[in-house]
Every structure is written in C-alpha cells, then in structure tokens.
Structure 1
Amino acid sequence: MKKILLLLSCCLLVLSANAQTGGRFTLKGTMADTAGVGLPEATVMLLAPKDSSLVNFGRTGKDGSFEFKNLKRLPYILKVTYVGYVPFQHNVTPAEGDVTDLGKFGMKYLNQELYAVVIKAARAPLSIRGDTVEYDPRSFKVPPGATVEDLLRRLPGMQVEQDGTIKAQGETVKRVTVDGKRFFGDDTKAATKNLPAEAIAKVQVFNDKTEQSRITGVEDGKREKTVNLELKDSHKKGGFGKASVGAGSDNRLEGKINYNRFNEKNQFSVIGLGNNTNSGGMSWDDYQDFKGSQSFNWGDDGDFGFGGGRYISFGGDNDEESLTIQAGRGGQNKGFNKNWAGGANYNYDDKKTKFNTSYYYNQTNQTLDAIVNQRNFLSNLTYNTVDTNRRANFNGNHRGSLRFEKTIDSVNTLIVLSNMRIGNGTTDYTNDRRYFREENVLSNKTNVKNFSDFNSFAIGNTAIFRHKFKEKGKNFAASFAYNINNSNGIINQQSVNQFFNPMETEPDSVLNVNQRNDTKSLRNQIKSSLLYIEPLSKKFFLESFYNFSLKSDEVTREVNDRGEGIDVPNLSLTRYYNNKSTFNRIGTTLRYSHNGLNISAGVGAQQIHMDGKFAVTKDDDYSFVDRKYNNVVPNVSMSYDLKKNRYLYGGYRMSVNEPSISDLQPIVDNSNPLFIRVGNPNLKPSVSQSADIGYNMFNPGNFMQVYFGANYQYFRNQVIYNQIVDENLVTTTTPTNISGGNMFSFYSNYGFPIVKTKSNLTLNASYNLNNNLTNINNVLNKTQTNGYNFGLRTDFTPSDKFTIYANAYWNISDTKYSISEGQNQKIVNGNYSAELNYKLPKDIYFQSRFNYNTYTNDRVGFNQSMPILNVSFYKAVLKSKKGEIRLSAFDLFNKNRGISQYASQNFVSQEQVRTLARYFMLSFTYNMRGVTHSVRRKGYGF
C-alpha cells in the first residue's frame, strides 16, 4: 500500500512536470499609474476566457513588472487589481516566439465617476490586500449541493482536514463568521459543514485581533486566523437550506436538515440530525462540557493581565470522575452509536448593538466492546493485564449561549455573556480483567459490574465594561463574573476480586465489593478583574491589572456497603469537604508597540489561599487545610510583524497551580480494591516555566507558506503519583511533589503550489521530547519519550471534473524507562489516505475515500493494519438541480475497528474496539432555495 501511494505521488509530480514543458511561452508586462510610475504588489491574474476560472496568479514586483512562465499557448484574460485603482482587464493572445511582452499598462485612479465601472469589473477570482486574501467562489467550481467545506478545499492556500479542521496559509482557523457575525458561537465547523457553497459571494481570510485586544483597545501583537463568509444578496434576504434522508443495510438510518434565513441585520439558522451511523454525535469536548470540567474557557472571560500567572479555573477537583469509574475512553467513531442533535442560532447586528444567542442539544447512545492488553513493569517484575469490557453509555447535553455587545457611545462599551450547560447520562459497565505474572501465570481475576446515573448543571455569566479616555491609548476595563457548576450522581459498584497463588487454579482469597456511591458537588465562583492602560508616549504603554477570584466547593460523598436489603455506611470511603480558594494577583506590564514590533515585560505578585475543612460526614469533627501560597510571577512576550505576511513571535511565562483539595486530604480511597488512592496534606503548589519562539511566513504572490517554532517547559514541585505495587499486584498511589520533569517540542511546515491553481504540496515535521518522573516501589523511574512526526499532503485538481487529495502521516514514539531498560518501547503509527472526486456524463458524480492505518510495536509483537474504503455515486435531479440521489458503500473491505496504542509511565497498552463496519446506504438530498438567483441590484447586474 505504501508503494501504491508513493507511486501515486510520483505520478502527480510527473504530470505536473509535463504540464510545464513543450509548446509553452512566457508572458510579461508592467503595471503603472497614469503618470507611468510602476505599481508594486498589484494582484495579477490569468483567467480562462470560457468561464473566467483562475489559471495562474501572482503579484507585481517593486517596479510594477510581472511574469508568468511555462504557459500553455492559449488565449487568456489578464486581470489586475490594486487598492485605490480601477481593476484592469486585457485579452491576451500569445505572440510568435517564446516570450510575449505586453509592455506597460496604465491603471486609472478610482473616483466617484468610475465607481459603477468598478462594481462591474471588481469581480476577480482572488484579490490580495495586505494580509487579507479574498476569493470569488464562482471561479472555483464545486458540484451541485456542495457545502462551504467542499468549496474551501478548492481555494489556493486553504486546507480542510478529515475532521473538518480548517487551515489557511498554514495556520489553524480560530473563527468562522458569516457576514462578519458569529455562527453558533465560535464553532468553526458549524458554518462550513452546514451552509451551501452556492450561498457564498466571497470568502475572506485575514488575521483578526484577539478578543482581549478588541475589548481593551490595546494591540497585544497576537493574531487569530479568521475566515469570513460573505453571503450573496440572493441569500441575505429569504431562506435557504438542505434536507437529506437515507436508509441502508443492517437497519442503518440517517437524516439531517439545516435551514437559514438572513437579512441585513438578522441571521437565523436551525440544524438537526439523527443517525445510527457513528456520524455527528457527541465529541470529546462535548463530553467534557457535559461533565462540567471545561471551566468555561470560551474566550471573553475578562481575565485581564498577562497569561500564565495562574489560570483562574472554574470547576474544582473533578470529583465527577468518581461517578464514571471504569467508564473508559469513548469516542464517537468507536463502537456503535445512535446520535440525535439539533440547535438554533440567532444574530442581530445594527453596528451599535450586537447580539448572538444559540441553543444546541445532542445525545448519544453508545455501545462499546473492547479488549485492552497492557504490560506493566517494575524494577524486578513484569506483569500483564487483559481486560475484556463492555460499555453502554447514554449522554445528553444541552448548551446555550448569549453574547450582547452595546456601544453606549464613542468611549463606552458594555459586553454581557452567558454560557450554560445541562447534561445527564448513564453508564452500564462490565468487565473481566485478568492479571498475569511472567510466564503467563494467573495472579488476579476481577469481574466488575457498575452502573452510574449522573447529571450536571453549569452556567457562566460575565460582564465587561470598557472606557476610552480622550487621551489616545488611555483605557480602563473592568469585568465581573459569576459561575455555577453543580453535579450529582449515583454509582452502584459490584465486583468480585480473586487472588491466586502461583500454579494454583483455585483462588487463595476472594474480595467482594457491593457498594452505592452517592456524590453531590456544589461549586460557585465569583471573580473580577481591573485593567488600566496609561500611555507613556506614542510607543510605550503601562498596563496595570488586578485579578480576584473566590471559589467555593462543597462535596458530599456517601458510600454504603449493600447487603441483604440493608445498606451499611462505609465510613472509610465516605467523605465531606468544604473548601474556599481565594486568589489575588496584582501586576504591571510595560509594553512597547511601534511599526509592527510589540514587546511586553511584566511582573505580578499573587497569593492563593486555600481554606478547607473535611470530615467523614458533615456532622463529624473536622480536619482543616489552611494553606497560603505567595509567588512572584514574571512574563515576557514579543511579536514582530516583519511586513509582507512575515511574523516572528516568542515569550517566557511562569504559572503556579495549587494542589487539588482531593489530593490534599489524607483519606484512603479503596473503592477499587486493586487500585487504592491515598491523599497527601503536605503538597506544595506546582510551578511551570515555559519559553517559546516561532516564525510564520506566507507569500500571497505564489501561496508558499512556511512556519516553524519551538517550545520548552520545565516543572518544579510537579504533582505526580507515586506507585506502590505489592505482591498481590495491588497498586496504591499517593500524590507527591517532584522537580525535574520537562518537555521540549519543535514543529515545522512548508507548503507550495506545484502548479498554481492545479496542484499543491504541504510537508510538515515535528519533534517532541517528554521527560516524566515517577516513583515506583520507592525507585525513581525516568520515562523519556521521543516523538517524531512526519506528514505530507497533496492535492491535484486538473479540471472541474476531477480532484484528488492525498495524505500520508507517520508517528514514531520511542519510550525509554530507567526502571527497566529491557522494556523500552518503539511505537509506530501510520496513516495514508486519498480522496477522489470525478464527474461522469449526465450529471453523475463519483466519490471515493480510502484510509489505510498501521499500528506497530515490535517489542510486544503488535502489528495491525486497517484499510477502509468508502465509495459513492450520486446524481443531481429535479429542476435547477435541487435534488440529489446518492448510493454509498462504507468500509467495502469490512475491516473497520477502533485501534489505539500508547506507552506511558511504566506501562504500554493496546486497545481494540469492535465498531461499525461495512454497510450500504441510499439517500436523497433536497436543496431549499427560497429566493431565485435572478436577484439583481439596481443599476447593475452580476
């Protein structure tokens, strides 16, 4: 398979090379103003006369000259755009000889009389203004019914990964807006996967300011890659959308609908889906939100001052984890999933008032059957575990958000935000786990049957006020937030734990567990921040800030041993605690900002006060935890706009995190008899220091992109979990502090067009070094992991009828253990994929996607491969091609499984999950278009 993909890449390169030789000519010329002065950096394009599709593009040099080499000897349309000038257009007919010199052309300066002419002539496949690239979708053909995601894949400089992640000019897109407005919050995939390509008039890619920079009015030198989708006039007024339904083999069903209704001030959208095809269910982030542990880190949080002093989290000690014991790792593409989801989004914008609100609900019923093989090693012993388990999960999640921004007057702005999560779920888990000593001797055997039922409610509310003083650069900002995060749940735990003596078939001892765990967690947080910016001069600014947070946690955990109709309280596992964590930080930063160079150096003084009490029950005698941690936290950052889309950045930061209350409590948790946890009241705060540097470059003239960077992080008093493994292979963990752990990473990316508008190639590589320290049976184990990642991506679009995308990715993880060098592991994972789209006669389209995954670990004899082939045929039907009939085949080789492998601390693990494999689907899609395409503006047409 590797050879096939390598041969495919070579064929593409040969085709590209052949396309540049034989019967070709060079086109050159110069663009100038009416006085004959050359216009540098003008966008120059060659278009095909038949449909104005883009053939080649570039930018003029300093003297206004341009040159295109190796052109086919065909007629072209030359189109040139330059800010402030009337777009220029000229028909090109190749002259005799190898070079056609068009000479010097003059461009007219834009004035009011020429405005109507500009409107007619302004349409161009792409235009470049500074760091903004604007595309005209009409020049990049996609099949009927295609989504914005399909369109983005055709645009030069754009990439869309298989999971929907968007990259522009080599950088990950952080925000997608529609007509400048948010679409389902900051979900970059909501718009691209649901809006039709035919609705888009322009695609704009640019570097936007960060949310904090917009709020405070201070340029912080940071950028967020943003894509704005400008709707056609025909879709700004009226409704449009898409509905599809499908049925397949093995009772597979799916349905999806989206509808949008926009006008100049309002945007309204609804989406919905349902399926049992493992598509579009609950993501990992959704699951974390559901558990209430995402801490509302959704931007706009109003935490002023430099980052890294201490992340003011909202969540607590993650006691919800106890409610999902043995739930295992999920994933919507593993196992068998039934998904339902739906939501609505509304935007209002009248310049002075911006309002956005959205609601989204999704639920997933998931069944997982997995086998996990794990090898564990100590300094003098190696043992294996084989875990066969089954999980039946239900997760339901409501999400609501609101953002209101009011420009009160020219100097005052108010922003109000609210984000809400409501969730509930159940987990039914059974497993058979066996422990084997060396030579495959059975040591322990555990049978578990757990059932949990839990729910959560969380809401975060923030208000931000900004005031601009008359003096330029002087600003004041204040924020206030109130957050609630409540959860409760019940878990019934049953297990039979058998312990065997060597060479005996009957257990030496048996430990039965039958318990009910009822946990309630009530968490509240109040926080506030102040920021004052004083301009010292035109280039220097002094930023002073204050942060305050008061977080209150109250957790009740009641554990009862269940007997014959009688529940007996288990006082060794039951616990109650109430904790208050107060955070204060004051600091100042001196910032220099001039001519693209932004440097800031600051220092903050902070105190964390943890005031807690805990007992077996709420009415017992309390033990107390009273800790104050004082730290001085420095921060340095730098960014430099080198112009011409080149950026250099770097910085140093220090962060301090207090230990969790649950780790501080000297309580033994033996709810799992084979894995016991013990707290440590003597823990200190962990400190991490990190430094990074990077460089980005994008050449809009030839769409070449380069970026690379490095990061180093060092840990002091890092909280790690010591392990004591006894003769029965029972593990006891205790949190403790240790210094010396560190991480280093380097990443790089290089992309360029092989043939402009036809083929592109992107190469990337990265290196990661992790040094982790853990004490195992009182012996310090240094786990060192060297990670090497390599990837390439290419696309080939010789015509509107044929496109192919190919990827190859390799990951090598080389892990070494000081405690047992003989167990060093080298894990190699590979992924090879290709996607083909081809238009057949009579409006029939063919699509195929092939994935080939490999998983290798020679040390344990693990060698798996998984080829997945999906193919489909579809035909556009009905008037105006509003309908689509599609026949699809998924996983034709019937090889799909969920496979994962990794090495960490003192173990290496492989997991295989039975999951949805081969099936066939027949579907119908209808594109709703509420407004005809004949809409025209008064006075001119498109």
Structure 2
Amino acid sequence: MKKILLLLLLTVCCCSVVFAQQSARISIRGSITDTSKAAMPGATVMLLTPKDSALVNFGRTNDKGAFEFRNVKRATYILKVSYVGFLPLQVEVNPEAGDVTDLGALSIKPIQKELLEVVIKTAKAPLTIRGDTVEYNASSFKVPPGSTVEELLRKLPGMQVDQDGNIKAQGEDVKKVTVDGKTFFGSDPKLATKNLPADAISKVQVFNDKTEAAKTTGIDDGKREKAVNLELKESHRKGGFGKITAGVGTKDRFQLRGNYNRFNTKEQMSVIGLGNNINQTGLSFDDYQDFRGSQSFNWEDQGDFGFYSGGVYFFGGDDGMGVPITGGGSNNRGFSRNYAGGANYNYDTKKTKLSSNYFYNQSGLTLNSDLEKETFLPNSSFLNTDHKSQGSLTRNHRGSARFEQKIDSLNTLVLIGNLRANNGNTTLFSDQNFFQGANHEKRTSQTLFDNRNQFNGFQLATTAIFRHSFRKKGRNFAASVAYNVNDTDGSAQQRSTNTYFNDTTATGAPTIFRINQDNVTNSLRTEIKSSLDYIEPLSKTTFWETFYNFSLRNDKVDRDVFDVGDQGSVRNNTLSRYYTNDFTYNRVGSLIRYSDKGFNVSGGLAALWFHQAGKFASDQASSNFTKVDRSYFSLVPNVSLNFNRKNKRFNAGYNVNVSQPQTSDLQPVVDNSNPRFIREGNPDLLPSLTHRVSGGFGIFDPGSFVNVFINLNYGYNINQIVYNQTIDTLLVTTTKPVNISGGTTKGGSVYFSFPLKKTKAVLNTSFYTNLNKFPTYINNALNQTNSNNYNMYASLDLTPSDKFTFYPTFNFSITDTKYSVNTAQNLKIYNYNYGGNMNVMLPKGMFFNARMSYMIYKNPKFDFRQELPILNLSVYKLFLKDNKAEVRLSAYDVFNKNRGISQQAYQNYVQTERIQTLARYFMLSFSYNIRGLKSQMRQNNYIY
C-alpha cells in the first residue's frame, strides 16, 4: 500500500509540474452554422497553434451547434472547423481582454461544384471525425526522428500502446493493422507498427471493421473489430524506404535488424530480417499461435459458413494437463540465439487482389531452471523439486497467400493457402526429488532424466470460396471447399534412473529401476471440408440464412517403442500403438437476421452430428484390433443482439459451443517419457459442450475522447474434458482425460479512459475478474478447484511538451485458489507490476529513453516474495544529412536483477519456477535510414 501511495504521489507531482505555470487562463466559445444560419451539431472544432498547427484542444459542437474551450492559455490561436460535405473553416483567434472570448456564430459553406476548383490554403486539421471513424493527420503529432509507427500511435488521442506493443483504440483491442488498405505480413498488427517508420505515414485511420462476409454480401452481421489503417505519404509510394540496425555489446551480445519497403498504388513489397542473441525471436505471441493453427486463416473468410458453434483448431493444441489458473509470470525464459527473415507482397486492383507473405525463423534456446511444486491429495500433500537443464534448436517456415478475383459484378472467387514446415531437436537433463511428511522433510525418491528428441512437421491448409450475388439485392449464395494436411514425425531417446529410498527393507537399501527406451512416432491428419450458404432477403431489413457444413477428418498415429539393452533393441508391445480414427461432421442450420441503422438481432438453430470410427492395436499388422464406433447428436441454438451507432454499442448473446476432443487425448497410448508423470489417452471421449451467455456495453465520446466499456460473461460446461489423476504410494502420477460436467466460468471487465487534459494527459483504468470452477478426480475423490482472479490496471499518458513524454503504468492481480479435497492448502498469489516509459529530447539532436518495470511476486502461504526491478536506459544521437543515421548506447537491466519468475496454481497443485535468463549488458548500435528523413523535417527537431 505504501508503494501505491508513493506512486500516486509521484503522479500527482508530475501532473503538478506539467500543468504548473498555467495561470492567465481564458475560455473560447462560439457556435457553428451553415449559410442559412441553421445550427451544425457534431462539427469537429480544433484549436491549433499558429506557428506549427500543433493541436492544443479539440471537441465537437453540441446539439445547438455550440462549442467552448475552457482553461486555455491566453494566446493567439487558429480555430479549425470541419464537417462532412462542407468546406473547412479557419479563423484566427485573438483573445479579448476578459476571461471569455466569444467568437459568435461562424458560418461554413457547403461544397459546391464550382468550389472544387478553388485551392484553399489552410492549416491541416490534426484529426477528423466522421461517424465512428477517427482520422489523424500524422504530421500534426510530433515524434522523435527515426521513430516507428508504434511511437506515433502513443501520441494520438484515444490510442494506447502498452510496453509489449499491444494496441488499444478507443478502449478496444486493435485486431488488424493494414497499410494503404492492404494486409502486412498476415494478421499480426505488431509487424507493421514495430517495423514501419513514423515519417512514412500520412494519416492514421481508426474504424470499426466489418467481417469479410459482410463486406462481400452487403448484409451487416453486426460483428465489428477495431482496425487501424496506415496511409502512406505520396513520397513513400514512389520509392523504397527502410532501416538497418547493427549493434555489439558486452558479454558477446549482438543484434542485426533491417527492413525495406517499396509501395505504389497497385503493389506493396516488404522485406524484414534479424539476427541476435538478446532473446528477440522476431515473432509475437500471435505468430506462435499461427504456427499452431489457431489463426490458420489470416483473413477471416475461412469458409465455415453459419454462426460459430465451436470446433477444434485444425493443427491441434498442446497435450495439456489441466486448465491452468494463472497467477502471473514472466516471459523471460533462458538464453536464445535467433535468426529470422521474411517477405510480404501485395497486389491490388479493382478486380484482382493478392496478399502473400513468407517468414522463416530459427531459434536456439538454452534454459536452466529450478521448480518447486506441491501436489495436493485428499488427505495429504507432497513436494517435489526439479532442477532442469534444457536445450533446443527449432526451425520454422511459414507461408500464406490469399488471392481474390472478381470474375464479374456478381461473382467472386477467393483462394487461400497456409503452409507451415518445422524441424528441430531438444535435450532435457533433469534432477527431480520428492518429499513427504508433515513439513515435507523426508526425501522419498529421486529421478534423473536424460531425454533427447528430434521432430519434423508439415502443415498445409487450403480453402477455395465462391460467392455469387443475385440481381435481387440481398440474395447471396456461397460455397467453399478445403483440404488440410498435418504430417508430423519424431524420434525420442528416453533415459531415466528412478531411486526409491525404502526404510522398510532389512538393509534399508534403496530400490532402483531404469528406463532405457527409444521410440519413433508418425502422425498424419488429413481433412476435407465443405460448406454451403444461402441468404434470402425477406425485406430490406430482414434476411433468412441457411447453411450446411461438412468435414471428414482422418487421424493416423503409429508409435513404436523399443527397450534398449545389452542385447540390442526389443519392441515393447505394451507401449507401442497403431491407431486410426475417422471423424465425420455434419451441421445444418438456419437463422433469421434483422439489420437496420446499426441495430442487428439474429436467432438461429443448427443440428450437428459427429461420428467417430476408430481402431487401435499394438501394431498395424495385428489381427486383433479394438474398434471404436460412436455417434453424437446435438441441437445448437444461437441468439445475438448488437447495436452500434453514434459511437455507442451494446451486445448480448447466447450460444452453445461443441468441441471435439484433441487427437492426442483420444490416442489409447501410454506416454512414459516422464516416468513420474504418465499420460494415457481415452478413445471413449465425447465432445464437450458449453452454454455461454455474454453481454457488453460501451460508449466512446469523440468530442471528449471519454471511453467506457463494460463486459460480462458466463459459461457452463457439459462433458468437459478434464484430466483425472491417480497418484500411487511411490508418488507416480497417472493422468487420463475423461468427460465431466459442472465446470463454470464467470467473468466481467470494466474499462474507463478519459483525458485529464486534452492532448496532454490521459488516464486509462481497467478492472477484470474471472471466477472459475474446475472439477476433476484425484485418487477417485472429486476435487473442485475454485479459482478467482482479480486484476486492476491503470496507466497515465503524459505528453506535456514536444521534448518530454512519460507513460507510467500499474498492474495488480490476485489469484485466490481453493481446493475441496484439502482445504488446508487454499492459497492466494499476489503479483504487482509498476512500470513506466519516459522519453526526453536533449539539446543538439540527442534523445534519452528510460524503461522501468518493477515486479513483485508474493505467495504468503509459502513465505515466497521476489522483487525484480528491471531498468533499461538508452541515449542516442542523430546525425548525417536529414538525420539519416543514429548511434545509440543502451544499458539493459541496469540493476542486474532480471530473472524468470512464475507462480501458478492448477487444479490440484501449486508451483513456483525460477529461470536463469538474460541479465545486465550494454550495447552500442548504429542505425541508418535507407530513405532518410525529408527536407521538411527540421534538423534536431521533431517531424512535421
């Protein structure tokens, strides 16, 4: 609490310094009318400085066309007025002697044909508001020379960028960033904002984007996501531009990074590359998800028509061992050496659109960690410690392409392809020790691992979509077909020594057994999918949609396990398995949709049917296969209501999601790669079903830039797939997935953002909570884990002047976990993170940046407390003609405190992990802008 009060005190002091010396304040008021003296409500009104047209304040006229700027300095200003369909108005404001300057009624003229030929020289409007679209003039917001788009977005009113580069606009997460309306390296917004220079951007447009289906059919489905489009300057559409950075540092650290871009009205080409040993992979979390397949279609038109009712990601997921209950953690894991490169190409005309990209990355990782884990049993618990040393080398290729051809005014063809290929190897050395007793004082066993693995993978997802619009407005037909392949193979050497300290024997000698096995696993999944969709307009505002989905998926797994001994390798028929599984999926449904003036409501019902036909045996040549033949039928309702108009939104919905089990869970295979934690599949798993209710409300005031968003959700699980655990007297855990009902998820969030002073200080606050109930069986006793997570976040965007910006943040979370099998083990995990980012412009073209993150991890039950103050500093100087070059000296982790810390509570255990990772080093780097900064940018000043 003392730290919170100190942070608030410092923030208040900063605000006091920033806004001190602001006496002699006045108010400027007036009203806007058209030429007939009619009031103009909703007109955008801006107050600019005459010297450089910098934005001082802004707002919109009220219902009577009136506006007022309060508490502004007594100075000369330019008043800028804009309204769609009218000529912009510019008026010089000279304050009167009193406290209020009344400009009276100002008239704006409609744009007429003869006026289009008139060239009007006025100051550029820093921003324009048209409905739910806000357009920023990039040159009106000053950032240091050489800055990326990310720094530009931080300066824009209504935009926030956190320390990880995640973007919010008007309180909502930005899901897509395009450049001149074209995709940039798929769907990852950060690749555009972190690689494109700010000086290349003319305008930044923020809007609510419709889905691809809504754009094509012309029928609003009510779905929106916040999107940003970066409009390039004309000068940057005519030639190439980019940046190269090279750096060397202490402890043999190095980095090399570069990008080159070449755009014109039809084509867009970009190349990026990097190499370093400072733990920068070049991939964001979205990219990793993309490799796993959760975003296997980057353009949202995957061809699965109809409302969403669940499913399983095509490329599958991890072999999860339960639903994690996060208590915070760190992304700082080990030491890595990374190389990556990619290219992006777009071609865009009225009839033909091509978007394509390729990305390669290679990462070598060394990781040493120490883990303490307590596992709870119905009447006791045990502790195990794990000291691990891991190494890995992975290589990933990723390619994506989307081709759209408008055959004629009524027909469109879309082809989509996604390709993944990866290979690599891993090693694991581990020393695990297990302790029992009242205070876990007695060591009962030890396991030493020496495991090595090699793997190869190939994934291909292809889709073709044909859309036909009939001459009757609103009548549409669409058909899709897809073919997907996932082919993986791997080999593993499993070596372990297991020692059990036995006091009951006559000699007291320990019992030792060893595992010395090799295994080879080949897994192939193929899938054929097809969908049909027909929309019939019942009126101008009411539509009837009918859809059909079909897929046939085949899984084939061949796993051979060999016991390695003095006499060679002998096949282990107990652990070896050959398994095939066919999933047939049919879904037919219909819905009625009403859509008019931002109001959208729909209700529908679908019938879906799964059929699973599988067989397994110890060997594919076996004459004794065990067969699995089962079907599953369900009716799936879907109701949604969306209202989105005049920057107000409301949404509510009810749906039922049905998800197929993962193949790894269905395989009747015993995985003993960790002899202390044995995994077993279950071919009898049923699909899981979740009833979900959600709702939300939000307001964005484009005049004041005040944002308020509230969201609630509730889910109830039937046949949820959980992982039952059986722990024997030797503390060997065997886990098996089963279906169980009764789990629930409840959550809510509140986001509030408002300017303390427009263009100078913005406060962003949010609070969210998740209340989850996870049932599972531990040694045949039902354990219900209740995990309640509470998180509070606050940030302040301080931009008082061109020479100083400061972005302090505060994040606080509590994870409260309760166990029904052993209530004495209930615990709370606390995580705090105080952060900040400061930029200062120094004399003679020099700049200073400081980045601070002070993390605190607490677990009072286990008397655990860890504090990590991480401070990064850099100072850099711009030089050469047009400031094309930059030299930078950086200090990372000044206090030498960086450690990878994570604490987590799961369904029946809690663990804390400490990981050695990259700590203090210094680096000297040189950057060169290939195109450089233009002459209109004054040397040693911010860009205009």
Q: Same fold (TM over 0.5)?
A: yes
CA distance in 1, matches of 2:472, 2:924: 66
TM-score (norm 1): 0.95
Alignment of 1:335 with 2:334, yes or no, is: yes
Alignment of 1:640 with 2:638, yes or no, is: no
Alignment of 1:630 with 2:633, yes or no, is: yes
Contact 1:238–1:931 (CA under 8 A) maintained in structure 2: no
Contact 1:754–1:761 (CA under 8 A) maintained in structure 2: yes
In structure 2, relative to structure 1, the CA distance for the partners of 1:617 and 1:283 (3 Å cut) is: farther
Contact 2:882–2:933 (CA under 8 A) maintained in structure 1: no
CA distance in 1, matches of 2:317, 2:557: 10
Contact 1:355–1:403 (CA under 8 A) maintained in structure 2: yes
Deviation at 1:565, TM superposition (A): 5.8
Deviation at 1:669, TM superposition (A): 4.0
- 1:629 maps to a residue whose letter is Y
Give the match for residue 325 of structure 2. Answer: none
**Which range moved further: 554-563 or 806-815?**
554-563
Give the match for residue 6 of structure 1. Answer: 8
Aligned length: 926
Contact 2:50–2:78 (CA under 8 A) maintained in structure 1: yes
Give the match for residue 433 of structure 1. Answer: 432
Deviation at 1:603, TM superposition (A): 0.4
2:857 to 855, 858, 868: 855
**Which range moved further: 910-919 or 713-722?**
713-722
Give the match for residue 717 of structure 2. Answer: 715
Deviation at 1:289, TM superposition (A): 4.9
CA distance in 1, matches of 2:905, 2:312: 32
Structure 1: which 5+ runs fail to align?
323-328, 936-941
- 1:392 maps to a residue whose letter is G
CA distance in 2, matches of 1:838, 1:78: 30
1:35-88 CA-to-partner distances (Å, cap 9, x unmatched) read: 111111010000011111000000011121110111111111100101111100
Give the match for residue 266 of structure 1. Answer: 267
Deviation at 1:730, TM superposition (A): 1.2
CA distance in 1, matches of 2:401, 2:157: 35
**Which range moved further: 779-788 or 670-679?**
670-679
- 1:628 maps to a residue whose letter is S
1:847-898 CA-to-partner distances (Å, cap 9, x unmatched) read: 1011100100000111001000111110110011111111111111000000
Q: How does 1:402-421 map to 2 (within 5 A)?
A: 402-421=401-420
Deviation at 1:788, TM superposition (A): 0.6
Alignment of 1:653 with 2:661, yes or no, is: no
Q: How does 1:350-361 map to 2 (within 5 A)?
A: 350-361=349-360
Give the match for residue 220 of structure 1. Answer: 221
Give the match for residue 376 of structure 2. Answer: 377
Give the match for residue 940 of structure 2. Answer: none
Structure 2: which 5+ runs fail to align?
322-327, 938-943
CA distance in 2, matches of 1:274, 1:662: 35
In structure 2, relative to structure 1, the CA distance for the partners of 1:154 and 1:665 (3 Å cut) is: closer
Deviation at 1:216, TM superposition (A): 4.0
In structure 2, relative to structure 1, the CA distance for the partners of 1:151 and 1:503 (3 Å cut) is: farther
- 2:248 maps to a residue whose letter is A
In structure 2, relative to structure 1, the CA distance for the partners of 1:125 and 1:118 (3 Å cut) is: farther
Contact 1:24–1:98 (CA under 8 A) maintained in structure 2: yes
Give the match for residue 108 of structure 2. Answer: 107
Alignment of 1:735 with 2:737, yes or no, is: yes
Higher relative contact order structure (alpha carbons within 8 Å, sequence separation ≥ 6): 2
TM-score (norm 2): 0.95
Deviation at 1:737, TM superposition (A): 1.9
Give the match for residue 463 of structure 2. Answer: 462
Give the match for residue 864 of structure 1. Answer: 866
1:443-462 CA-to-partner distances (Å, cap 9, x unmatched) read: 11000011111010111111
- 1:617 maps to a residue whose letter is D
Alignment of 1:882 with 2:881, yes or no, is: no
Contact 1:711–1:746 (CA under 8 A) maintained in structure 2: yes
CA distance in 2, matches of 1:288, 1:753: 35
Contact 1:296–1:314 (CA under 8 A) maintained in structure 2: no
2:194 counterpart SS class: helix
CA distance in 2, matches of 1:687, 1:810: 33
Contact 2:670–2:681 (CA under 8 A) maintained in structure 1: yes
In structure 2, relative to structure 1, the CA distance for the partners of 1:558 and 1:119 (3 Å cut) is: farther
Give the match for residue 155 of structure 1. Answer: 156
- 1:581 maps to a residue whose letter is F
Give the match for residue 809 of structure 2. Answer: 807
1:786 counterpart SS class: strand
Give the match for residue 347 of structure 1. Answer: 346
Give the match for residue 679 of structure 2. Answer: 677
CA distance in 2, matches of 1:195, 1:69: 37
CA distance in 1, matches of 2:72, 2:936: 36
In structure 2, relative to structure 1, the CA distance for the partners of 1:703 and 1:507 (3 Å cut) is: farther
Give the match for residue 129 of structure 1. Answer: 130
Give the match for residue 211 of structure 1. Answer: 212
Contact 2:374–2:909 (CA under 8 A) maintained in structure 1: yes
Q: How does 1:255-404 map to 2 (within 5 A)?
A: 255-287=256-288, 289-290=290-291, 299-308=300-309, 310-311=310-311, 313-315=313-315, 333-404=332-403
Contact 1:294–1:315 (CA under 8 A) maintained in structure 2: no
Contact 2:344–2:357 (CA under 8 A) maintained in structure 1: yes
CA distance in 2, matches of 1:221, 1:817: 41
Q: How does 1:442-521 map to 2 (within 5 A)?
A: 442-501=443-502, 508-521=510-523
Contact 1:572–1:669 (CA under 8 A) maintained in structure 2: no
Q: How does 1:68-217 map to 2 (within 5 A)?
A: 68-117=69-118, 120-121=121-122, 123-217=124-218
In structure 2, relative to structure 1, the CA distance for the partners of 1:507 and 1:370 (3 Å cut) is: farther
1:474-527 CA-to-partner distances (Å, cap 9, x unmatched) read: 110111111111111111111101112259996531120111111111111110
- 2:838 maps to a residue whose letter is L
Deviation at 1:540, TM superposition (A): 1.3
Contact 2:562–2:570 (CA under 8 A) maintained in structure 1: yes
1:181 counterpart SS class: coil
CA distance in 1, matches of 2:125, 2:715: 47
1:4-49 CA-to-partner distances (Å, cap 9, x unmatched) read: 4222222234346656x63111100111111111111010000011
In structure 2, relative to structure 1, the CA distance for the partners of 1:29 and 1:507 (3 Å cut) is: farther
2:8 counterpart SS class: helix
- 1:52 maps to a residue whose letter is S
1:929 counterpart SS class: coil
1:804 counterpart SS class: strand
Contact 2:133–2:208 (CA under 8 A) maintained in structure 1: yes
CA distance in 2, matches of 1:129, 1:288: 35
**Which range moved further: 86-95 or 278-287?**
278-287
1:859 counterpart SS class: helix
CA distance in 2, matches of 1:417, 1:752: 42
1:153 counterpart SS class: helix
- 1:429 maps to a residue whose letter is L
Contact 1:278–1:332 (CA under 8 A) maintained in structure 2: no
- 2:633 maps to a residue whose letter is N
1:267 counterpart SS class: strand
CA distance in 1, matches of 2:808, 2:135: 26
CA distance in 2, matches of 1:902, 1:632: 37
1:618 to 617, 620, 625: 620
| RMSD (Å) for aligned C-alpha atoms | 2.1
CA distance in 1, matches of 2:578, 2:315: 17
CA distance in 1, matches of 2:426, 2:435: 28
1:672 counterpart SS class: coil
CA distance in 1, matches of 2:118, 2:786: 66
Q: How does 1:681-720 map to 2 (within 5 A)?
A: 681-720=683-722
